[in-house]
Amino acid sequence: MNTKLRQIAESIEKDPCESTGHIYHPLPFPEFERLKTSSSRESAFRKWRLISHSLKSFSSIAGLRVLDVGANAGFYSFNFAKLGALVDAYEPHKHYAEFGAQIAEATNLPVRWHNKRLEQADLAGKNYDIALMLSVFQWVSRGNENLEEAKALLNAVAHSARVLFFELGCNSGESAIYVAERPIAWIWRLLKENTSPKDVAYLGSTAPWGRGRRFLFACAEDRVSLTLWQRFITFALQRSWIC
């Protein structure tokens, strides 16, 4: 048991911000397993399993450079760091970024925290093996208000990394993007138009809040590992059978 992590867990439990809300993701350390303020635990671990499976074509995660955009308190950042990846985590919410930085220091894991919103300028001269944009696009776009700015950032992130994992839901939630067509088809087209020439593959979906599904995709220079079902849905999207 890491005493420093236990102290951080206790401080989260006592924090006024957590008495009326939740940290968005669980934290992947035993010291946080009893943390009642964590949300979407099953959804977060399902998403991590989908991402991990798709990376089976990589010989090792150790030493890979990972960019986590909208990292929250670091569920995905720390899962990658525990496998030896070097992570840049961007989180504009001071509350979450501080907890993430404290955990990185307490565990000596290679996660570098940036308490700011990722801007295109932050990507200048940088290349990553893996980038994550998980349920963050709608916040950048402010719903339907600023889609072009969000698309420009998506394009920049996609071209800075060999593989981009992207998740989004539509038509449900405070920050939702509202679309007239089926959300999965709209997201597919969004990625095809803004991450080219990468291949876009469907990985799966989650429903973290019990309403409205979120769809996870991989945009990669090389093919990622897919199950038969993932291949079928990807093929259906390519043929516009889902629209």
**47, 60, 61, 86, 202 from 83: Cα distances, Å:** 17, 8, 6, 9, 24
Q: What is the pLDDT of residues 33-51, one digit of tens each?
A: 877 666 677 888 999 999 9
87: helix, strand or coil? strand
What integer is the mean pLDDT of 213-221?
95
Q: What is the pLDDT of residues 60-77, one digit of tens each?
A: 999 999 999 999 989 999
For residue 37, the model assigns a pLDDT of 64
Given a cut of 60, whether residue 20 has pLDDT beyond it is no
Weakest mean pLDDT among 22-26, 96-100, 139-143, 214-218: 22-26
pTM given for the model: 0.94
Q: Residue count of the chain, please give it.
A: 243
For residue 240, the model assigns a pLDDT of 93
Residue type, 102: Q
DSSP letter (8 states) at residue 38: B
User: Is residue 22 very low, low, confident or very high in pLDDT (cuts 50, 70, 90)?
Assistant: low
| Omega prior to 197 cis, within 30 of 0 | yes
Given a cut of 80, whether residue 238 has pLDDT beyond it is yes
